[in-house]
Structure 1
Amino acid sequence: MATEVLLVKAGMTMTEGSVAEWYVPDGGTVDKGQPLYRMETEKIELEVEADASGMVRHVVPAGTTLEPGGLIAYILAPGEAPPATLAPGSAPPAQEDGVLASPIARRLAREGGISLASVTGTGPSGRITEADVRAHLVSSPPVKAPVAGAPPPTEAIPVPAEVLASPLARRLAEQVGVDLGRVRGTGPNGRITKEDVEAFAAGSGARPTAASVRSPLGRMAGQAVPVRGMRKVIAERMHASLQEMAQLTMAMEVTMDEAVKLRAALVAEWAPEGVKPSYTDLVIKAVAKALVLHPLLNATLRPGEIELLPQVHVGMAVALDEGLVVPVIRDADVLPLKDLAAASTRLADAARSGTLGLDDMAGATFSVTALGMAGVDFFTPIINPPNVAILGVGRIREGLAWDGDRPVKQHQMTLSLTIDHRAVDGAPGAAFLNTVRELLEAPYRLLV
């Protein structure tokens, strides 16, 4: 029987994706595990591997945008006939506006204030790509009425359309005045990443542009910001989370003196290997160990039952300019702390450069979100469905505690746990928080 190839779902917030490129032509052969196609969403681009070996028959051409789980191809075993429903050479499905374009191209056109109908597509079947929109913006920039009192614009360096670079790298290059044609890419296939642009700018003294020196308020004042793309998905999911769950938040103080000492020692010890653990890494490890002891918080609520999940996969929230993504540290309970710290660094870097893979985004059983770097002590994190709990991490601050009859300085941190009261009562939630606190106050237990 033919193996169906379905458009993968890269994370719970994904609503549509595009088959940006077929790596195996229609009628070509593929081996299981070999890259089959490149998928593109408004958040990420990723390479998807074949689940079977055999002949590939495309159902949709490159450039088609559809919902996750949509049928895009078949893989046929030797001698197997294609399904009767396969229509070779069929035209790509029409988009809502009659224009065939990738999600990133559509977003860029909206941001640039241009109509896709005025852009010539160079992709498969005339599909408009990101490079097409950027080329159009350079050749025919939208005309905007001058604003009274506004400073004269500073010329930005056009980003060459043919350069292979991530969307974040392109945006940063335009902001700091870097010519991407002069930047050496270190990503897959020589792709230029945000870090490559930052490194080049630091070494070349790139000139600032008006966009890089103007305050965010100055850029946005007097404008209405449309709720769309990643922001629209986040808005819908967070609202649904609060509407559908009985969410309760509780907080607990943690003494972090020993954790501060341990982290300093580990930073020095692991520096030769390029691993720099963060305080959030210590919290994630403590959470993972605590979830083993308190399985009700490592669960999902289904109709008529609470399913206790067999693996501990901790999602870590990463803030981006466009919104929030939650890559996943898998098997965090058994992963050594050094490997966990390396994994969290890789995932955060991939999130910011738009290179997260499918496995990086799927399957979180619990989530951790930190706002300590913004000076926040306590907040009420919103649960990421279908999880039943999430932990918020505040800043580490100096505080006072009593040692007998005298005050002593301590490093203190507030943990904010939100639970779904339909699945978890207050007492089990408090017990979980106490376990996390005990592990962080005796952090050498995180190393075993």
Structure 2
Amino acid sequence: MPTEIYMMKLGMTMTEGTVAEWHIPDGGEVKLGEDLYRLETEKVEMEVEAEAAGIVRHLVPAETTVDPGDVVGWIYAAGEEIPDVLPGAPAGGASAAPAEAEPAAAAEAETAAPARAEGERVPASPAARRLAKELGVDLAAVTATGPRGRVTEDDVRSAHEAAAAAPAAAPAAAAGTPAPASPLARKRAEALGVDLSTVAGTGPGGRITKEDVEAAASGGAPAAAPAAAAAPPAVARDDEVMAVRGMRKVIAERMYASLQETAQLTMDMDVAMDDCVKLRGQLIEEWSDDGVRPSYTDIVMKAAAKALRDHPRMNAQFLGTEMNLRGEVHVGMAVALDEGLVVPVVRNVDQIDLKAIAQESSRLAGLAREGKLGLDDMAGGTFTVSTLGMFGVDSFTPILNPPEVGILGVNRLRDDVRWEGERPVRQKAMTLSLTWDHRALDGAPAAQFLASVRDYLEAPFRLLV
């Protein structure tokens, strides 16, 4: 009995998924646990592993979007009979075995795209259509190499690269185009009645100078400019065109929408961190046998959760005509990846202790970097914390994750000075950057919330009770 290859359902909020890329070709052999295809959703990308070994048959091509639970292919065990038409394939669809190679002429006839009537829609994958729109490529002019004459992303890129490589015709000089000349040269030419189009320029780039005009007016030729030393040839470097797709595309759309649809403001506040530094050191030593190492972000998350309890309007969702003051405190933690940014959620941060927060944040960050987060891991946040302190950042403007109304930026721990009377005293300090939605609350309550976070961090023993 063949093994079905499903579109995995990653969470309760997932409505569709895309087979972005098949790692095993149609008719290829796969081992148990080997990466089979790359799954993309609006929020995550992950590799799907084979649940059996055998021969892989694709039911849908790459870049196809289907519902969760749909069958996208089959795995047939060695020696198992493969039917002429795969189960679930449309009429005339996926055949049981990849086509045998034909002689060259026949192959060309078989793979050639069918002729299209004028104005007929060009068959192309959704990703190819998006890329063509971004690059300004006419799909009708693209040579299709996909199944049944379908245009793929690679076809669009090839067409774009070919167009870019074609030599552009040099623009003809328009009649009457004014010669390049300095403003002073133009004034002098007007005063002397000299036609600039008859003057040879000796300035940079052939620009006409005042001296050139005067020489032309007196009937003499301008002095030849001294030959410039030959510059070393410039190294030609081609531009790289990167398609905005997958996670990057979703981030781009959501960040733009966030700034367009909310009234965002950011304020900074300094925090004295000496006591936090001492507490963290003690906790690292105490929890060393358990392998738990709390970060400053973990401590800030706990302080923010307690402050959210004190200021419930910051722990809310703004829904246009109403605000939903959330009863639970679930804090999203931004995790940077090579391909973008994900925000897994630590739940009930106000109710669990610092050790549990450190363990959960470490677990979620690990899943994020391995590409194994599920949609449920990133759903339900009521507030977000974003950290750039590890890059030496002193202050930044975090962007809201709507419909949340607040996000807290954590900056670097730095050396600072405070004054005790007339005496300067060294201390550790950190700046917190709060962005909030002014539609939901005004500056004063936002500042009060941020001051509460500061107060908890400056007396961190309160975070342990």
**TM-score (structure 2 length as normaliser):** 0.56
Aligned partner of 2:225 in structure 1 is: none
Equivalent-residue separation in structure 2 for 1:308 and 1:13 (angstroms): 25
Kept after mapping to 2: 8 A contact 1:266/1:277: yes
Question: Which of residues 332, 345, 349 is equivalent to 1:315?
Answer: 332
Give deviations 1:31-87, integer Å, cap 9, x for gaps.
Answer: xxxxxx99821643388xxxxxxxxxxxx96778666976848xxxxxxxxxxxxx9
Question: Which of residues 400, 424, 429 is equivalent to 1:383?
Answer: 400
Question: Which of residues 345, 355, 358 is equivalent to 1:341?
Answer: 358
- SS of corresponding position for 1:398: strand
- Give matches, 1:37-436, under 5 Å: 40-41=39-40, 43-45=44-46, 72=70, 90=90, 222-436=239-453
Measured at CA, do residues 46 and 296 of structure 1 come closer, stay the same or move farther in structure 2, by a change above 3 Å? farther
One-letter amino acid matched to 2:316 = A
Superposed CA RMSD in Å reads: 4.5
Give deviations 1:341-398, integer Å, cap 9, x for gaps.
Answer: 0111111111111111232121111111011111111111100122111000110000
One-letter amino acid matched to 2:302 = K
- SS of corresponding position for 2:413: strand
One-letter amino acid matched to 1:374 = F
- SS of corresponding position for 2:411: strand
- SS of corresponding position for 2:242: coil
- TM-superposed CA distance for 1:98, in Å, is 6.5
Kept after mapping to 1: 8 A contact 2:302/2:350: yes
Equivalent-residue separation in structure 1 for 2:238 and 2:458 (angstroms): 46
Where structure 1 has 5 or more consecutive residues not aligned to the other structure, the ranges are: 22-36, 48-59, 74-86, 107-114, 122-132, 134-144, 146-217
- SS of corresponding position for 1:395: coil
Where structure 2 has 5 or more consecutive residues not aligned to the other structure, the ranges are: 1-5, 23-35, 49-57, 72-86, 95-120, 132-141, 148-153, 155-164, 166-234
Kept after mapping to 1: 8 A contact 2:15/2:67: no
Aligned partner of 1:180 in structure 2 is: none
Equivalent-residue separation in structure 1 for 2:92 and 2:431 (angstroms): 53
Aligned partner of 1:142 in structure 2 is: none
Kept after mapping to 1: 8 A contact 2:14/2:375: no
- TM-superposed CA distance for 1:231, in Å, is 1.6
Give deviations 1:384-423, integer Å, cap 9, x for gaps.
Answer: 1221110001100000111111111110000000001111
Q: State how many pairs are aligned.
A: 304
Equivalent-residue separation in structure 2 for 1:13 and 1:368 (angstroms): 24
Larger Rg: 2
One-letter amino acid matched to 2:45 = I
Kept after mapping to 1: 8 A contact 2:408/2:432: yes
**TM-score (structure 1 length as normaliser):** 0.58
Equivalent-residue separation in structure 2 for 1:265 and 1:92 (angstroms): 69
One-letter amino acid matched to 2:259 = L
One-letter amino acid matched to 2:442 = D
One-letter amino acid matched to 1:378 = S
Equivalent-residue separation in structure 2 for 1:443 and 1:224 (angstroms): 49
Kept after mapping to 2: 8 A contact 1:7/1:68: no
Equivalent-residue separation in structure 2 for 1:98 and 1:357 (angstroms): 33
Kept after mapping to 1: 8 A contact 2:13/2:376: no
Kept after mapping to 2: 8 A contact 1:46/1:356: no
Kept after mapping to 2: 8 A contact 1:314/1:330: yes
